[in-house]
Amino acid sequence: MTIRFDGQVAIITGAGNGLGRAHALLLAERGAKVVVNDLGGARDGSGRSSEAAEDVVTLIEKNGGEAVAHGANVADFDEVQDMVKTAMERWGRIDILVNNAGILRDKTFSKMSLDDFRLVMDVHVMGSVHCTKAVWDIMREQNYGRIVMTTSASGMYGNFGQANYGAAKMAVLGLMNTLVLEGEKNNIKVNALAPAAGTRMTEELMPEELFKLMSPEVVSAGLVTLCAENAPNRQILCAGAGGFASTHLYETSGTYIAPEQLTPEAVLDRGSEIFSREGEKELHGAGEQSLKFVTQAMQHYGIEMPKD
């Protein structure tokens, strides 16, 4: 089945360069009307220019598509609201939001200023919050929406010198997990993309040959699947250099310690049971963890689970 977006409107943040540019071009190629958002700053977030976004719009229009540029700073909710207003006035709906905008302020944690930490969090986390909040009710009223967060292996697994970036990239997964639950009844699907691509954000971190293998276009092929009508929900799609995988968070079965035995030492002594991965499972809501612990306690005391 061919994935098309005819009649749909997509907002892609940070779409003037790199991954965002590739996302915008591919969605437009497949029929989407695109809001090309880009502040036009340097990779550390400094500066501002509309040139990159305008260039992407020109290319989309040259290829027969429809697009509009908007230079909203995603860390500023008023500017984000203006961007959404522009899209609604022009096309009357918003079907897809790709939260891609990001900056880097890499330093070891000991040398990192709190200002650098806050700025990265503001762009990646609050930027995703602002853009999602601005389109959320529109998508609810439409009973349709596809939202993609951009996470990273740096957040899921850690990366030296990226405490701020890693924290931000894990935070958007927490946002995704709750939005999935709240958006499900209105056919709003929320997923995350974990890209590994050669962009201006990473060009100094890898050899030239590897940089060429990791083109943004390869990642965008995966991004499109998360925006499709039959997209999955609550998935973390990892993509890079032609490789695709999925990351999941699991919880061990754990163990129960009776109150009369419960001491810090007992917890430490039972570590082999607590940390054993045998029988681990993926949970789909915070309540499932609480239910597991309560069930273990009830079994200890011989209490039957109430029926409905």
Give yes or no: residues 188 and 59 share one domain. yes
Q: Are residues 111 and 230 in the same domain?
A: yes
- pTM value is 0.93
Q: Is residue 23 part of a domain?
A: yes
Note whether 136 and 209 are same-domain residues.
Answer: yes
pLDDT for res 306:
78
Minimum mean pLDDT range among 116-130, 132-146, 201-215, 247-261: 201-215
Residue at a domain's end among 247, 267, 285 = 247
Query: Could you tell me if 74 and 158 lie in one domain?
Result: yes
Confidence of residue 161 (pLDDT cuts 50, 70, 90): very high
Same domain, 200 and 233: yes
Contact in structure between 178 and 136 (CB atoms under 8 Å): no
End-of-domain residue from the set 226, 247, 268: 247
Q: Do residues 136 and 86 both lie within one domain?
A: yes
User: What's the pLDDT tens digit per position in 228-257?
Assistant: 999 999 999 999 999 999 999 999 999 999
Shared domain check, 256 and 206:
no
The encoded tokens of residue 133 equal: 């909040």
Number of domains within the chain: 2
The SS3 of residue 247 is: strand
Structural domain includes residue 3: no
Residue 188 lies in a domain: yes
Residue 79 is encoded by which pair of tokens? 């500017």
192 within some domain: yes
Residue 288 has a pLDDT of 96
Residue 208 sits in the same domain as residue 231: yes
96 and 202 in a single domain? The answer is yes
pLDDT tens by residue, 140-159? 999 999 999 999 999 999 99
- pLDDT bracket for residue 205 (50, 70, 90): low
- DSSP symbol at 89: H
Judgement on whether residues 13 and 49 belong to the same structural domain of the protein: yes
State the pLDDT at residue 102.
96
Residue 6 above 90 pLDDT? yes
Nearest to 69 by CA among 24, 124, 127: 24
Find the CATH number of the domain harbouring 127: 3.40.50.720
Domain that holds residue 32: 9-247
Give domain status of residue 234, yes or no.
yes
Tell me, yes or no, whether 307 lies in a domain: no
214: pLDDT confidence band, cut at 50, 70 and 90? confident
Q: Which long-range contacts (CB under 8 A, 24 or more apart) does 209-215 make?
A: 213/241, 213/242, 214/240, 214/241, 215/22
Do residues 178 and 287 both lie within one domain?
Answer: no
> Can you point out the beta strands (E) in the chain?
9-12, 33-37, 67-70, 96-99, 145-150, 188-195, 236-240, 243-247, 250-251, 281-282
CA-based nearest residue to 223, from 183, 203, 187, 196: 196
Which of the two residues, 244 and 44, has the higher pLDDT score?
244
Q: Is residue 281 part of a domain?
A: yes
pLDDT at 197: 77
**Backbone torsion region of residue 7, taken as left when φ is above 0, otherwise alpha when ψ lies between -120 and 50, otherwise beta:** left
Residue 279 counted as domain residue: yes
Instruction: Assign 240 to helix, strand or coil.
Output: strand
Partners of 189 in the β-ladder: 146
Question: What single-letter amino acid sits at 236?
Answer: I
Number of Cβ within a 10 Å radius of residue 141: 11
Q: Where in the sequence numbering do the catalytic residues fall?
A: 165
Q: Which of 230, 247, 264 is the C-terminal boundary of a domain?
A: 247
Asked whether residue 180 carries a pLDDT value surpassing 60, the answer given is yes
pLDDT confidence of residue 40: 83
Q: What token pair was written down for 159? A: 């990366």
- The mean pLDDT of 297-303, rounded to a whole number, is 94
* Residue 258 and residue 242 share a domain: no
